[in-house]
Structure 1
Amino acid sequence: MNNRLCQIHPSFQFNGKSYSKAEFLVLAESFLNSEEDYKAQFGKFILEWFDTNDFIRLTTSGTTGKPKEIQLLKEAMLNSALATSEFFNLTESCKALHCLPTQYIAGKMMLVRALVCGWELDVVPPSSHPLDGNEKAYDFAAMVPLQVENSVDKLKRVKQTIIGGAKLNPILADKLKQLPVLVYETYGMTETITHIAAKKVQEEAFSILPGIAIHKDERDCLVIDAPRLSEELIVTNDVIDLVSENQFIWLGRHDNVINSGGIKLFPEKIEEKLASKISNRFFVIGKSDETLGEKLILVIEGEPFELPESTFENLDKYEKPREILFVSKFVETETGKIKRKKSIP
C-alpha cells in the first residue's frame, strides 16, 4: 500500500488543531457515538481510510438506475486528490471548508485531499447555509447548488468554490459570474471519484484534470481514460461535443435524448432556456407519440397554473412542449436528484 495512504501530512489541521495519526484515530472513535450524524459519518470514514483494506465501499447515487455498491481503491482516491490540488493550484496549508455529507464521495474526498495535501480543514455540519455564522476566509470549498444559492452574498470570502451534484441553473450562474472570486462547475461521478473536469461558471467547455484522457464513442458519448483512477475505461451516457483533446461541451444524457420526428432534442439544454421562466421545479421528457415517435412534454411540480405565452419565446420551433403535465411531488434519489421517468404518473 502507498505509504502516503497510511500517513497524515504534517501541515494537516482539523478544525484548527494538528493531529498525529494516533490522535486522529482516537478522535474518530469518539465521533462514532455522537448524536450528530455528520460526526458519526466522519468517524466511520476516518477509521475506514486508515484500516488495512486497500479500498473503500460506497453506493452510487442511483440517478439514472438502481443504486449499486462499488469499491474504490484508496490509491485512486489519493491520485484524484493530487489531481484536484494541481488543477486548482492548492498548496499545503490551504484553508478549506468542508460542508458536505461524508457518506457520499464528494464529502469523503474533501477529507482525503486535506489529509494527503496538508490542508487546514474546517468541518461544519452539512446544511443549506454552510457559511452562516462563520466569518472566516477560505481558499477552497466544495458545495452543491442549493448551498451556493444560499451563500451568494458570502462566497466572496472563498477564493475558489467548486459546485457539483446537480446542474447549475442559469439565473444562479449569472449571479456567480459577477463575484470577484472563482466559481467552477464540475463534471464527474462516483465511479470517477468526484470530478474529472471543471469549467468556470458560464464558460461552455469543461477542461479535464491532469492524468485524464477523453474521447467519444459511436453514440457521441464521453469515454474517460483515467488510469490513475480506474483500471478500465469509463463509458458514460453523457452526449458531448469534443472541443479538443482536453476540452468538451456537455449536451445532455443519452438516456434523456428525445427523438421527435427525427429531430434530436436535449432536455437539459431546453431546461436551461426555461429556467428563468418557470419558478417551480420542472423537467422536459419524451412521451410516446404515434406520429412523431416521441413528443416533448413539460412536467411541472405543484398545483396546475397557467403559463404566459412568453414562457416559450426563447425556444426553437422543435423545442416547444406539445403537452404540459403537473405533478404534485417529484420522485427523488437520496441525494435529491429528480427521477424523471418515475415522477410521471
Structure 2
Amino acid sequence: MGKIIFEGQEISFDMIKGGHWPMHSQYLSETLDFCQEWLNGKAEFQLQTSGSTGNPKTITVSRRQMQISAAATGAFFEIPVNSTLLCCLNTSMIAGRMMLVRAMEWDSLLHLREPEGLPLATFSAQQYWDFVAMVPAQVENCLMKPAEKQKLQSIAKLIIGGAPLSSQVQLALSQIPIKAYQTYGMTETVSHIALAEITGSLPLIYQVLPGVVINTSEDGQLIIDAPMAEQRLHTHDRVEIIGTDRFHWLGRSDFTINSGGVKIQPEIVEQKIAGLMNDLFPGTRYIIAGAAHEKWGEEVVLLIEGAEASDLIGQLMEGMAEQLEKYHRPKKVLFIENFASTPSSKIKRKESLSLALEKAKEDQ
C-alpha cells in the first residue's frame, strides 16, 4: 500500500482513508482532505482553471476522467510498480491534484513538499525519483545552483508545465542527462494530453498520450478528442500537425498581433530573439505583445521584466533588426517590475501589457 511522506512523517493511504493523520500545515490538511475523498470513492471534484486566457472559473471533473489521465501518463512513461514520486506543486490546481491521483492510482510512495523555488533542496543527492512534475521557475532555479542541478539528474522522468519553458532553459536541460518533457494541456483536459521531450532542438515536437486524437480547424487551431475530456475541445492554440499524433505548437490565436494586415505570432518572435535576450538580459523574462496603434491597428512591442536598462536598448534594437523581418521587429521596448502571472507562474500577457503601458505613460 502506498503512502505520503511530508517533512519526515509517513502517512499511509489506509490512514488517510480513515481520516487519521497528524495535524500540520494548512497545505497538508487541504491536500489530505482531497486524498481522503479520492480514497473513499468520491465521484466528482471541483477544480479551478488558471485564468491564463480569461477569467478563472470552477469546473467539475469526474473521477473517471482523472483515472484515465493517470493511466495514460503511466502508460506513456511506463511507470514501474512501487514508484517514487515528488509533488512540489499547488495541490488545489490541476497539476498538483493529478500528482496526488497518480500516486494513489499507481500505489506509489509520494514525497510531498509545499511549493517553493528549490523543491529538491531538503533531499540528498542520492534520492532517486521515478516521476516528478515542476513549473518552469522551479526548474530554472535548480539549474542555477550546482548542487540542485546535480539532483535533477536523479529524476528518471521530469514533466514541466504551467507555462512554456524559455529556449535558454530548454538548452540547459538538454545538456544534462535527464529525460525532461514540456507538457501541453489545461484544466479542461485534466492535466496534459501531449508531451514534448526537451532535446535542445526547436520547435518542440509534442506527442499525444494514448487514446488522444487531434485535428485542426480551418484557421489552424487545435481540436482535441480525448478520453480524459468530457467533450471535443476547440482550443485557441495554433499548431502544425505532423502525421497523426504529433504537432508543433505555434502560439495562441488570441495573442496574434495584426499590424497593418500583417499577422505576427508573438511566441515565434520570442523564440527568434531568445539568444539575443539571453546575452543582454540573462535569466530575465520577456514577452512580445501587440499595443494599440492609430494607423496600423497594433504595433509590436517588447516587454521586459525588471529594472529599466536604457544603456542596452541600442544593442537590443540593432540585434533584433538583424534577426527579425521588418514587420516583426518591436517598435518599442517597455520595462515592468513584475509581470502579472497566474498561480502556476504563467504570464498574463494582456494584463502585463496594460501595466507596462500605464507605467510608460506615467514616466513620460
Give the TM-score normalised by structure 1: 0.89
Q: CA contact under 8 A between 2:224 and 2:232: conserved in structure 1?
A: yes
The 5-angstrom pairing of residues 1-345 of structure 1 reads: 10=1, 12-15=2-5, 19=12, 21=14, 23-26=15-18, 28=19, 30=21, 34=24, 36-51=25-40, 53-135=42-124, 136-152=127-143, 153=149, 154-201=151-198, 202-203=200-201, 204-226=204-226, 228-276=227-275, 277=277, 278-279=281-282, 280-306=284-310, 307=313, 308-309=315-316, 310-312=318-320, 313-343=322-352, 344=354, 345=358
User: What SS class does the counterpart of residue 64 from structure 1 fall into?
Assistant: coil
> In structure 2, do the counterparts of structure 1 residues 303 and 44 end up closer, same or farther at CA, with 3 Å as the change threshold?
same
Q: CA contact under 8 A between 2:206 and 2:248: conserved in structure 1?
A: yes
Q: Give, in angstroms, the shift of residue 20 of structure 1.
A: 5.3
Q: Give, in angstroms, the shift of residue 114 of structure 1.
A: 1.2
Q: Give 1 or 2: higher helix fraction.
A: 2
Q: Give, in angstroms, the shift of residue 51 of structure 1.
A: 4.9
User: What SS class does the counterpart of residue 97 from structure 1 fall into?
Assistant: strand
Give the TM-score normalised by structure 2: 0.85
Q: CA contact under 8 A between 2:163 and 2:344: conserved in structure 1?
A: no
- Per mean C-alpha deviation after superposition, the further-off stretch among 194-203 and 81-90 is 194-203
Distance 1:231 1:139 in 2: 29
Q: CA contact under 8 A between 2:16 and 2:36: conserved in structure 1?
A: no
**Equivalences, count:** 330
Distance 1:97 1:50 in 2: 19
User: What SS class does the counterpart of residue 114 from structure 1 fall into?
Assistant: helix
| Long gaps (5+) in structure 2 | 144-148, 359-364
Alignment-derived partner of residue 362 in structure 2: none
> In structure 2, do the counterparts of structure 1 residues 24 and 143 end up closer, same or farther at CA, with 3 Å as the change threshold?
same
User: What SS class does the counterpart of residue 271 from structure 2 fall into?
Assistant: helix
> In structure 2, do the counterparts of structure 1 residues 170 and 223 end up closer, same or farther at CA, with 3 Å as the change threshold?
same
Residue identity in the other structure for 1:79: I
Distance 1:236 1:195 in 2: 14
Residue identity in the other structure for 1:285: A
User: What SS class does the counterpart of residue 129 from structure 1 fall into?
Assistant: coil
Q: CA contact under 8 A between 1:286 and 1:295: conserved in structure 2?
A: yes
Q: Give, in angstroms, the shift of residue 55 of structure 1.
A: 0.8
Distance 1:210 1:72 in 2: 20
> In structure 2, do the counterparts of structure 1 residues 51 and 149 end up closer, same or farther at CA, with 3 Å as the change threshold?
same
Q: CA contact under 8 A between 1:170 and 1:275: conserved in structure 2?
A: yes
Distance 1:78 1:287 in 2: 43
Task: Compute the RMSD of aligned alpha carbons.
Answer: 2.0
> In structure 2, do the counterparts of structure 1 residues 105 and 20 end up closer, same or farther at CA, with 3 Å as the change threshold?
closer
Q: CA contact under 8 A between 1:49 and 1:56: conserved in structure 2?
A: no
| Long gaps (5+) in structure 1 | 1-9
Q: CA contact under 8 A between 1:38 and 1:126: conserved in structure 2?
A: no
Residue identity in the other structure for 1:174: L
User: What SS class does the counterpart of residue 157 from structure 1 fall into?
Assistant: coil
Alignment-derived partner of residue 146 in structure 2: none
User: What SS class does the counterpart of residue 103 from structure 2 fall into?
Assistant: helix
Distance 1:288 1:220 in 2: 25
Residue identity in the other structure for 2:156: K
Q: Give, in angstroms, the shift of residue 128 of structure 1.
A: 0.9
Please list the CA deviations of residues 113-171 of structure 1 after superposition, one character each: whole Å capped at 9, or x if unmatched. Answer: 11111222222222110111212111111111111112231211111101001110111
Distance 1:63 1:301 in 2: 18
Distance 2:80 2:307 in 1: 50
Distance 1:289 1:18 in 2: 58
Please list the CA deviations of residues 216-242 of structure 1 after superposition, one character each: whole Å capped at 9, or x if unmatched. Answer: 01221111001x212310111100011
Distance 2:121 2:86 in 1: 12
Q: Give, in angstroms, the shift of residue 301 of structure 1.
A: 2.8
- Per mean C-alpha deviation after superposition, the further-off stretch among 236-245 and 257-266 is 257-266
Q: Give, in angstroms, the shift of residue 314 of structure 1.
A: 2.7
Question: Moved runs in structure 1, 4+ residues, more than 4 A?
Answer: none
Residue identity in the other structure for 1:274: I
User: What SS class does the counterpart of residue 38 from structure 1 fall into?
Assistant: helix
Q: CA contact under 8 A between 1:60 and 1:69: conserved in structure 2?
A: yes
> In structure 2, do the counterparts of structure 1 residues 246 and 253 end up closer, same or farther at CA, with 3 Å as the change threshold?
same
User: What SS class does the counterpart of residue 150 from structure 1 fall into?
Assistant: helix
Identical-pair percentage: 37
Distance 1:60 1:166 in 2: 14
